[in-house]
Structure 1
Amino acid sequence: MSISGTALNPWALRLNPLQIAKRLAKSVGCETSDIKKMVKCLKARPASQIVEHTDDLHGFGPLPYCLFQPVVDKHAKKPFLEDLPENLLKSGKVLDVPWIASFTHEEGLFVSLVLKHHIEKLNREWDEIGPYFLQTDDTSISFQRETLRKIKQHYASSGEDLTFDDLTKLGTDALMKYGIEKSIELQTAVVTSPIYYYRFGHTGQNSLKHLLTPEDVKGACHGEDMVYFFGGLMVRPLSSNDVKMKNICLDILSTYARDGKPKAANIEWEPTSQNLSYYELNNPEIVELELNTDHADRSLLKRMKILEKSYLLAHIKDEL
């Protein structure tokens, strides 16, 4: 079960780990010309110093969110990840078991909320900040500039600049939904087991939004459904609707674990397919299958290729 993310999301993998490792080493006073000495020096630094200086690695505010992700380590004695996840999926190197994938209506709130008071600067310096927003900062900014401008132009709903809502939509699509749906497409082609897909839109008393802003912001934020599956941020009592949604989520989880096929509100779910249809979990009284209609946004991101790790990796090799 993959809730709000898969291995193909842009924040899930770092292509050029040496780049950011050197920046960290320099920040804590280690030399970077000799890699072995650099690693030895980093290991000798207190953990508190390492954590303190990770703030030096952000390009703009908290961006990029993920600094030290898994890497392809095929040359290791016991590699954790021997190839790009995209390549592993294409070659069928994935468990052939039933799988549930999901995203929330407004995934991008987790990033737009913390950037809410910096949107003017983000628009003004989009060429430089865009790669940090999209987690494509492994490659040179000049390489991405034209693509970044096209993406901004597409998502700017009124005029040339991105609004708060535009930023939320872009974050939802680029940081979450695109990678999730690419994973579904690739896995559907190489497995026989069913794949189930849902979009979560219920907003209740407990939400990650409350940790990011005191303001009343509408929308189902990243991680919103986790509360109903696993508990966690239960700082406020559940409303009656929250309790109903919790019961639906627990039904989904228990039937999936027991039977390999989720069932909720007396509905046995049908697998998704290449059309990427998903179940809507908005109202605990209504759980229904919906067609995926966001084809224009997805088509743009697919054409731009900027979220494809294989595409970025080829460019990094060209630079080297």
Structure 2
Amino acid sequence: MFSGSLYILLGIATATIHLVSATRKSVSRDNEILVHTPSGDIEGLINKTWTGKTYYSFRGIPFAEPPIGDLRFKPPVTIKPWRGIKKATTEGPVCFQVFSEFWGQADEDCLRLNVYTKTLNGNKPVIVFYHPGAFYSMTGTSSWFGPDYLLDHDVVLVTVNYRLDALGFLTTGDKYAGGNNGFKDQVESLRWIQKHIRSFGGNPDQVTITGYSAGSNSGFLHMVSPMSRGLFHKVIGMSAGATNNWVIAKNPLRFAKKLAGLFNCSTDTSEVMVKCLRAVPAKDLNNKFNEMRVLGGIPMVVFGPVVEPDLGNGEERFLTDKPANIIKSKQFTHVPVVTGITEYEFISWSQYVLNNETLSKHLIENFDSLAPSLFDYDDKNKEEAQKITNTFKKFYLGNKPISKDSVHELGQWFSDFSVIYGEYTTAKLLSKYSDKPVYFYKLSYKGLYSHMREPVTNQTIGPVHHDDLIYLFYIERGFPKFTESDPDAFMVKYETSFWKNFVMNGNPTPDGSPVQWLPMTYNDEKYLDFDTKLTLVKGLPFPERMNLWNRLFPVL
């Protein structure tokens, strides 16, 4: 079992299969499979799902040129075709990040993706998954996001690495480092899929962007990005929206200068500063994680999404305005959406902080001065910020002082700030301004496994951030693989069946479901509660908490 706090700091002898092209074939021998693609031949492996069904895995496929040397802090460059056979039988490197050695072998040349498919012919819907990690950590490799559950269904799954933290999102707001390169990596992966996915039996006209946390932010930002138009057709966004107050960096240049200062780089001009940072070893850039933050991995996003200015140089801009403004203007990609939350979300953060002697002491003794930075209203003047802090303390804490016993209360506060309010407002805005349906859910099921346990009893408390992923992916590094006789196996079948149905036809309710999952509208809210029993519930979760946030930080 791995600690939830790490998220905070945080792949037949002689068989021949015909492809779409009548002139090329894909051949499998022993446990290997060879596929012909527009960029070159790729060799993968033959595997089995959790129920024993055969699928093919192709891991570590490069989808862009290595973003190294002069390409650091620049948009990705389209991969060139190769000669010979590209081996895709082992994982590619993870992108450099905090605790890189925990996630896997790291390298700056990390723009790789994995493709999993049951057959290499056909025209199957494609699920593209962008991993979580607050834009500074994690990876799409199979030890963290294995296909063993989803590939029970007739879909193609693609998991993607994108550049993280400063290497992916540092910006100076000018031509020397325009920003959003991690998102532009994702766009390049979508363009790769459009060109190559037929070779793996996928349909480029039936692509669903799926993501969790930062990956969910990503999916919604692709909806409002001009770069992503025409590259996808549905979105599943889990546990993060596009309208959280923290999503768009308010003054990203200050973080670039702060990082540069840690390496004694001159900040006199962007050109000089970026040139100096290009010379810093990639792993060293990520070793300054704590120096760039206030407390316990907060602020979560130091280098992340930015609104890009028009530099007049013809370079594509991923994000041209704040997401809420683009949604309200209706100038976004209108596609069906599934989105939702877990019941307890980021209570794991408060448990981590309050059970750490040093962090809890610092938080308790300095709470009023830390709160504006922790909850992202430090752009307010001191008097206004204190009023907001007092309002929150009264609502969540009943005006009781912060203590080591405040795990649940502080956890609710942090969950609403980091996930739930942004999820709520994104869903509300889309239900008002999109001409496509929006389906909302809440995971309430308390399973045997979780990313958080009570420290004394070692019992799960209920679903926290990342827990719905346990039923969608085989997380080899964290949990045992389910068998069909396991008590939680029904939830694997629930979640993967709803997701499969949605990516196939835009309606998540599968045949034989005990409940019809209906879309919400702006004036008729409803959500599906995933628990031992599936229930369609009127309204949206936690209305009093959401009303407070919308009063203090109005989006709707």
TM-score scaled to structure 1, two decimals? 0.86
- Residue 109 in 1 paired to residue 352 in 2? no
Number of the residue aligned with 1:192: 435
- Residue 235 in 1 paired to residue 479 in 2? yes
Q: CA deviation at 1:297?
A: 1.6
Number of the residue aligned with 1:286: 534
Q: CA deviation at 1:287?
A: 3.4
Q: 2:247–2:305: 8 Å Cα contact kept in structure 1?
A: yes
* Local SS of the residue matching 1:197: strand
1:269 aligned to 509, 517, 520, which one?
A: 517
- Paired letter, 1:296: E
Counting only pairs closer than 5 Å after superposition, residues 135-284 of structure 1 correspond to structure 2 as 135-137=376-378, 139=379, 142=382, 144-157=385-398, 159-161=400-402, 163-209=406-452, 215-232=458-475, 235-238=479-482, 240-263=486-509, 265-274=513-522, 275-283=524-532
Q: 2:342–2:467: 8 Å Cα contact kept in structure 1?
A: yes
- Paired letter, 1:280: D
Q: CA deviation at 1:75?
A: 1.9
Number of the residue aligned with 1:314: none
Q: 2:348–2:452: 8 Å Cα contact kept in structure 1?
A: yes
Q: In 2 relative to 1, CA 207–293 (structure 1 residues): closer, same or farther, beyond 3 Å?
A: closer
Tell me how far apart the structure 1 counterparts of residues 481 and 330 of structure 2 sit (CA, whole Å).
Answer: 44
Number of the residue aligned with 1:299: 547
Number of the residue aligned with 1:127: 368
Q: 2:514–2:534: 8 Å Cα contact kept in structure 1?
A: no
Q: 1:127–1:148: 8 Å Cα contact kept in structure 2?
A: yes
Q: CA deviation at 1:217?
A: 4.5
Number of the residue aligned with 1:82: 320
Q: 1:201–1:282: 8 Å Cα contact kept in structure 2?
A: yes
- Paired letter, 1:186: L
Q: In 2 relative to 1, CA 293–127 (structure 1 residues): closer, same or farther, beyond 3 Å?
A: same
Count residues in correspondence: 306
Tell me how far apart the structure 1 counterparts of residues 465 and 442 of structure 2 sit (CA, whole Å).
Answer: 11
* Local SS of the residue matching 2:267: coil
Q: 1:92–1:187: 8 Å Cα contact kept in structure 2?
A: no
Range with bigger deviation, 249-258 or 69-78: 69-78
Q: CA deviation at 1:152?
A: 1.9
Tell me how far apart the structure 2 counterparts of residues 214 and 35 of structure 1 sit (CA, whole Å).
Answer: 53
TM-score scaled to structure 2, two decimals? 0.51
The structure with the larger Rg is 2
Greater RCO (CA < 8 Å, at least 6 residues apart): 1
Q: In 2 relative to 1, CA 3–215 (structure 1 residues): closer, same or farther, beyond 3 Å?
A: same
Tell me how far apart the structure 1 counterparts of residues 456 and 338 of structure 2 sit (CA, whole Å).
Answer: 30
Q: In 2 relative to 1, CA 272–244 (structure 1 residues): closer, same or farther, beyond 3 Å?
A: same
Q: 1:15–1:72: 8 Å Cα contact kept in structure 2?
A: no
Q: 2:529–2:536: 8 Å Cα contact kept in structure 1?
A: yes
**Structure 1 residue runs without a partner (length 5+):** 311-320
Normalized per residue, the structure richer in helix is 1
Q: In 2 relative to 1, CA 245–94 (structure 1 residues): closer, same or farther, beyond 3 Å?
A: same
Tell me how far apart the structure 1 counterparts of residues 464 and 279 of structure 2 sit (CA, whole Å).
Answer: 39
- Paired letter, 1:276: E
Q: 1:197–1:277: 8 Å Cα contact kept in structure 2?
A: yes
Normalized per residue, the structure richer in strand is 2
- Paired letter, 1:252: F
Number of the residue aligned with 2:31: none
Q: 2:347–2:407: 8 Å Cα contact kept in structure 1?
A: no
* Local SS of the residue matching 1:279: strand
**Structure 2 residue runs without a partner (length 5+):** 1-235
**Identity among equivalent pairs (%):** 23
Tell me how far apart the structure 1 counterparts of residues 458 and 249 of structure 2 sit (CA, whole Å).
Answer: 34
Tell me how far apart the structure 1 counterparts of residues 295 and 326 of structure 2 sit (CA, whole Å).
Answer: 32
Q: CA deviation at 1:258?
A: 1.1
Range with bigger deviation, 153-162 or 81-90: 153-162
- Paired letter, 1:297: R
Range with bigger deviation, 240-249 or 146-155: 146-155
Q: In 2 relative to 1, CA 228–11 (structure 1 residues): closer, same or farther, beyond 3 Å?
A: farther
* Local SS of the residue matching 2:254: helix
Tell me how far apart the structure 2 counterparts of residues 119 and 278 of structure 1 sit (CA, whole Å).
Answer: 36
